[in-house]
Structure 1
């Protein structure tokens, strides 16, 4: 296999890339190309593409979405403390290399292989990437939100393991939302029913649209709400409205928007992505604050959709302990990290070891607060 670096997805035919990427929407050619087309990633941004590609007999047989990063925004595996420690010691933490779906804390494949379980090809790619990292003299390499296969392949001494917690809703073959509620304790069941009633009592209507059903006006409302969410946190969104319009066209089958209206006016919207197995909640925003509207638009309508479409799970994004009492299970996510500096490598490894112990205790505690009467089978 001949491996090399490509700095734009425009140089890789869509069909060839997607044949390796499968149906994960966040590493699809359409999603990554839209990010490039609208300057969310690319040369001159904080995410400079360094796609690893592997060819055999003239055919693309391997690829990796890798980026040269100049900060740590949009990664959701937090290493700000590591960067600060480097700075205090007069060392440069940036640039670094990141293997990830940009701005997207969704676990999935990162070593894209023609034969998904080809451990030999995976080992060859990992060796190439580590050599590239050393040659480019970056401070570090970070492989984020790995699926099970990739995490196993990256299990080697040079790459320290790190874990975190997300909250995923699992579909235990429910036929209706009430079937799901029936699995919860009385207190939690009543709480969710009350939250859903509040939306009706506020005279708010909620509709669900797929990508090809979303009008330009609805994209405009969504984007206005989305920007407001970022501004509340003191940040600008990394996306343009044209980015969303493009994926609405090119990824229509993967887009599910939940829209809320009151008195004929748009008041909130949430954008989800879907594939054959799961629904992924990604972006949300609202015009005004209404009691329980976030839960209805972002969680309960999404659960309704998963049940109706018989999807296995709903991943509602990073963090959020409030999801636990609404039936979301604490779920471990995995990343791997290579640190070039020997002294910092040892120090960070010790910190990650302590972090891992704390995470195990934290997840054990969380499991005691699940709202289910008993674990569904």
Structure 2
């Protein structure tokens, strides 16, 4: 494995593997040629903003170890965004119990390799390569790095379905969890959505929305050049206030938001509520090719139903307005079900270096997947749609 003290050389039949310690070590055009344009969270702009802002850096427990496969002539042919992690924070796929079990057995769980986008529980490709050989080589390179460094494990989180078979073929363990996504295909916005609901549910959500909007002066959507430093100053106050109460220590620095405007403002959409002549709350979204990704929310005032309005109801309107197929509204949140967000299984894959530990985790994951499937069925039964619309929505998923 070439690059930065990674250990013995590991040359593969189709090229060399190199470790990048910063996204900036690869030209943005080369990175994005591999990442594509569909998903904002694997773009060079987003990853480099996390690193350059001091949000995802070694001092915060995120040491970049991006794996790059180079072809015979040195051209980039495969990329895996990855970090050496000294903790399990900011990942949203919780392995704290695994770490505790391994420590009780006398092992050292950290560092570990995390194949992910930091602080981002959104589905995104992790094998950024077109050729199957390069995709498989990236997985082997992750395993080799774990082995060479004596680390406990590697974890690839929030994978799209097309990434899973390559990891599975290498023997990685599959884990399931649940998120709640809105199927916006064919809908023009919130009014269309309400038309699909049973009468009682429709009236309840309409009253909820009316109450939230009546409590503020206006709601606006900001993107591109609208995202001024003054706007980010306000949003950062929202983020710090709400994030501080929820997590204790928000992860993102103020500089990160400025870099978003510099590098990808057209892929950012901020929903802001005004009251008393000032901005009082906001919800940060990112635009994908066919999806609106809801990420961060914050507020300075406790206004009933405003969180639901800015994060979920406005997102449905945005998706309809832009013709997007779905809304991914972030981690957790069974309260999203009554607002039409359907339970969706999210997938992660895990490589544990110790075979005995891997066998114990595999047994746990088999039972956990069964429990997740049962939970999905329970949530499906709570969706607010009329029977015909519920069946049609499930068919489109």
TM-score range, shorter chain: over 0.9
Partner of 1:369: 382
1:150 counterpart residue number:
163
Pairwise CA RMSD: 1.3
SS of the residue 1:223 aligns to? helix
Question: Which of 77, 81, 104 matches 1:88?
Answer: 104
**Which residue does 1:167 correspond to in 2?**
180
* 2:25 pairs with one of 4, 8, 11: 11
- Cα deviation, residue 157, structure 1: 5.8
Instruction: Give the TM-score, by structure 2 length.
Output: 0.92
Mapping for residues 57-206 of structure 1, pairs under 5 Å:
57-113=73-129, 115=130, 118-156=131-169, 158-206=171-219
Equivalences for residues 231-270 of structure 1 within 5 A: 231-270=244-283
Q: Counterparts of 1:197-346 in structure 2 under 5 Å?
A: 197-346=210-359
Is the 2:189–2:318 contact (alpha carbons within 8 Å) kept by the matching residues of 1? no
Matched residue count: 374
Moved more, 50-59 or 74-83: 50-59
Structure 1 length normalisation: TM-score?
0.96
Q: Distance in 2 between matches of 1:320 and 1:143?
A: 22
1:354 aligns with 2:367: yes
Which ranges in structure 2 are unaligned for 5 or more consecutive residues?
1-14
Contact 1:8 1:51 in 2 (8 A): yes
Aligned-residue offset at 1:121 = 2.0
Unaligned runs of 5+ in 1: none
- Residue correspondence of structure 1 range 36-51 to structure 2 within 5 A: 36-51=51-66
SS in structure 1 of the partner of residue 126 of structure 2:
coil
**Contact preservation (8 Å) 1:211, 1:257:** no
Asked if the contact 2:216–2:273 (Cα under 8 Å) also holds between the matched residues in 1, the reply is: no
Q: Which moved more, 1:173-182 or 1:219-228?
A: 173-182
- Residue 101 of structure 1, CA deviation: 0.8
CA separation in 1, counterparts of 2:19 and 2:76? Answer: 13
- SS at 2:92 equivalent: coil
Tell me which moved more, 74-83 or 187-196: 187-196
1:53 aligns with 2:87: no
